Amino acid sequence: MINYEIWFMFPIKEHSLLFETLVWMMCIDTVIGTVLAKLFKIYESKKNREGLIKKIITIVLLLALSFISIIDPLIKTIFPATIVFFIFIEFQSIMEHAERTGVKIPINIKNILKRKIDHTPEDNNKKEKE
């Protein structure tokens, strides 16, 4: 486990394993995505840069949230769930990369990853008319 003795990361200590898992999954996702894009000859530096910026913003926002969690006990209880949410997003992306390479993903995991609930007003109007 990483030693978090850096002053600005002190609130993360309680959830260091979750935070570390998220950072590693972000790194793995970025590397695998870049390698696949180069292999399939669809690499775009702009898209890669945007992905990296999103990951950096996520980390910065989680660090800010960890500081807010010192003040607000409600945020302190929500903070681990927020990290788990981002871990799930990274896991989903890694599984999509694996599927592109031909790795067989179990059907149960596919169903969980592909389940999307769409509550747009247009869909609700269509349901009401039927």
Within 40-114, residue ranges assigned H as helices are 45-71, 73-100, 107-114
Distance CA 82, CA 50 (A): 22
Identify the pLDDT of residue 5: 52
Q: Kindly tell me if the per-residue pLDDT of 117 is higher than 50.
A: no
Question: Which residue has tokens 């949230």?
Answer: 65
Distance CA 38, CA 75 (A): 40
The phi and psi torsions of 85 (rounded to 5 degrees) equal -60, -45
Distance CA 68, CA 71 (A): 5
More confident residue, 123 or 113: 113
Distance CA 22, CA 105 (A): 21
Kindly give, in sequence order, each residue whose CB lies less than 8 Å from that of residue 59, ignoring residues fewer than 6 positions away: 23, 26
Identify the pLDDT of residue 35: 94
Q: What is the pTM for the complete model shown?
A: 0.75
**What is the per-residue pLDDT across 42-79, written as a single tens digit (0 to 9) for each?**
999 999 999 999 999 999 999 888 888 888 888 888 88
